[in-house]
Amino acid sequence: MSQEIYLIDNKEELIGELGGLFKEETDYKFKTINASEIELALSSIPSLIVIDEDNIDINIIELCQKIRENEDNSITPIIVISSNQEREHRLQVFQTDIEYYILKPVDKEYFYYTIKNIIELLYRNRRVSPLTGLPGNVQIQAEMKKRFLSKNTFAIVYFDLDNFKAYNDRYGFASGDEIIKFTSRLISSHIHKIEDNDNFIGHIGGDDFVAIIEKADYEKICKEFVSEFDAKAVEFYNEEDVQKGYVEVANRKGIIEQFPLISISVAIVEVDYRCI
């Protein structure tokens, strides 16, 4: 997936240096903007922001605070590079919740791997679900906004398990977690097999998932997913319940009710920015 990195550098010195370091990394897109144009960078919700303190005409503390106050960029990593070696100054900058402060002259190899490792860590851990490892609500919202800004047509696919509470009541929360992880893996396998597609999968929470996909036969993909889910979900039940086709669970009043085996509902909304 493309990684858009904004360089806050009024003299545009960083763009040439990073362009050379990442010339073989086609997924990394660098863009230089003036410090006075910070709102432009924030509205684009970049993967990373790099600030050259020596080449801006605004106080670095105020600039970092402004970035952190922006809800969509509250977790966007920030690297500050500077020739200011004063310990107190560096501590003040770190107190604005930046991730790295790199002193000049910058070691190019160190700079390269700092950016690479931050992006990799972000990919793995940015507000992910601890159960499924998928991005959570903060990144889902940011991803949707980025798609709107790109002005491409895309589809939002919503997945919701049916009769999940009854399954939890019958088999316990640990077994319920296994169903959630199974659903996550199955969604990922179907969405990520789409070729030439900048897709995204998120875990809203509980038994709700969302995917954002482009340039694909959405209905065909979802029908194939539902078919495989129905075939494999029965493996999480004992033979008796499978034979009956339902589970018996007490409702809140203590009355035994019959609930169908777990299934999944999928809703697709094709989004065209021209209609919004």
- Say yes or no to pLDDT of 1 above 80: no
pLDDT at residue 238, rounded to an integer: 96
DSSP 3-state of 88: helix
Check residues 234 and 145 and name the one with the higher pLDDT: 234
Task: Tell me where in the chain the CATH 3.40.50.2300 domain(s) lie.
Answer: 3-125
What is the CATH topology of the domain spanning 137-275?
Answer: Alpha-Beta Plaits (3.30.70)
CATH number for the region 3-125 comes to 3.40.50.2300
Gap between the Cα atoms of 139 and 86, Å rounded: 35
- For residue 16, give Cα distances in angstroms to 37, 39, 65: 20, 23, 27
Which of the four pLDDT bands, split at 50, 70 and 90, describes residue 135?
confident
Task: Tell me where in the chain the CATH 3.30.70.270 domain(s) lie.
Answer: 137-275
Rounded mean pLDDT of 54-60?
Answer: 94
Check residues 218 and 249 and name the one with the higher pLDDT: 249
DSSP 3-state of 194: coil
Across the chain, what does the average pLDDT equal?
90
Q: DSSP of 6-70, one letter per residue?
A: EEE-TT--HHHHHHHHTTT-TTEEEEEE-GGGHHHHHHH--SEEEEEGGG-SS-HHHHHHHHHHS
> What is this structure's pTM?
0.62
pLDDT at residue 216, rounded to an integer: 79
- Say yes or no to pLDDT of 59 above 70: yes
- Of 78-87, 89-98, 141-150, which range is least confident? 141-150
- Of 110-114, 205-209, 272-276, which range is least confident? 272-276
Rounded mean pLDDT of 212-223?
Answer: 87
> 């929360």: which residue's tokens?
173
DSSP tag of 114: H
**Type of residue found at 180:** I
- Of 16-20, 57-61, 101-105, which range is least confident? 16-20
